[in-house]
A and B are shown apart, each in its own frame.
Chain A
Amino acid sequence: MKGMTIIVKTVSSWVKVLIFLFGIYITIFGHLTPGGGFAGGVILACSYILLMLAFGREFAEKNLSLPVVSKLDCVGALFFAAIALFGLIYGAAGFFYNFLHQEIQAGKVEALDLYSAGTIPFSNIAICLKVAASLFMIVLLLSIFRADSSAGEEE
């Protein structure tokens, strides 16, 4: 699969940046507007899948190879678990205690700011990383698997 026609390649090379930016926006503003980590992660993964469809699997793998994706997946999961454990350490009130929220109550940060909801934006970012990496990895793996099995049948 060497990619599609020049029209598709040109349009997707313009559009992929906007899709990526929209995914980041959905994720970071997840505690203020509708959206959140899951939807943002799916949109981020879709931008890379669009790259894969338009330019071929090798191009997408050169940009974001399989070991890097699996490491990003693990980093997202560990980040989310670390947020839960930090709540246990700092707050002493239990798992997932919103330990950063005290600054807002003390008046250091305004409500409805971008950085306002304590650990919630960081949880969103962790989930976004995790969902994006795993969805892109699944598509990449299925594509590799299909290429391998069809090559095996032709032999």
Chain B
Amino acid sequence: MGMSYIFLFFMIFLVVAALIAVHTKDLLSAVICVGAIGFGGSLMFLFLRAPDIAITQIAVEVLGLVILIRATISRDKTFISGDREFFGIVVSVALLFAISVVGLKAFDELPEFGTPVFVVAGETQENIASQDYIEQSLSKTGAANVVAAVILDFRAYDTLGEATVLFTSILGAVVILRKKARNLPEAAP
């Protein structure tokens, strides 16, 4: 029960950071608040005993995002002006409240923490695939880190797909952000 109070604290921290990120006028402060959101999420993953994803989250979201935005927008206008519409705020707050209520109901329906749910059809609760991964990862692949064994051996095909997605997106970004434009033929007047 003590764990859920930690998560409640982190959730309140995340909500406050998100509100500050939305309402601040300075763009750099907003970026730092987004970094704080990533830091809170990373700490939540750490308390959920997922250090792999916590390391990745803190590297991408805190360092990567903040440094990327700092490196790319340093000379632009960093102050936001203008007021928000009252109707928009009311609608978004009502929508968020409704989603929170439904989400709290949904959290009660979730399986208990630590219970594997990856059950292949036809197998009983004692003989499920995720339990096999935990028990046989060291003897079958030699990797002490079960996450590495799953993403690079048992399910390496998924990782190949992710690498392909990353490669394709980088290819698209390189094409769009070319240094010099392609020589277009002279447009007819």
Interface residues of A (CB under 8 A from B): 1, 26, 30-39, 42-43, 45-46, 49-50, 52-53, 70, 73, 77, 80-81, 84, 95-96, 98, 101, 104, 111-112, 116-120, 123-124, 127, 130-131, 134-135, 137-139, 141-146, 148, 150
Contacts and interface: CB of A to CB of B under 8 A. Distances in A.
Interface residues of B, number: 43
A42 B63 contact: yes
B121 interface: no
Given A42-B63, A73-B170, A116-B142, 6 more contacts: A31-B145, A32-B143, A32-B145, A46-B64, A98-B141, A134-B170
Nearest to B57: A39
Q: Which of A50, A138, A148 has the most CB of B within 10 A?
A: A138
Nearest to B52: A34
A73 to B, nearest CB: 7
B71 interface: yes
A1 B75 CA distance: 10
Given A35-B52, A53-B71, A146-B75, A42 B159 contact: no
Interface of B: 51-52, 54-56, 59-60, 63-64, 67-68, 70-75, 138, 140-145, 147-149, 151-153, 156-157, 159-160, 163-164, 166-167, 170, 173-174, 177, 179
Given A123-B152, A124-B148, A146-B72, A141 B174 contact: yes
B143 A31 contact: yes
A127 B162 CA distance: 10
A54 B77 CA distance: 21
B72 A39 contact: no
B156 A39 contact: no
B172 to A, nearest CB: 11
B157 A120 contact: no
A96 B148 contact: no
Contacts of A38: 56
Contacts of B67: 46, 49-50, 53, 139
B55 A39 contact: yes
A142 B179 CA distance: 10
A147 to B, nearest CB: 9
B145 A96 contact: no
**Of residues B144, B145, B179, which shows the largest number of chain A Cβ atoms within 10 Å of its Cβ?**
B145
B158 to A, nearest CB: 10
Contacts of A104: 142
Contacts of B179: 144-145, 148
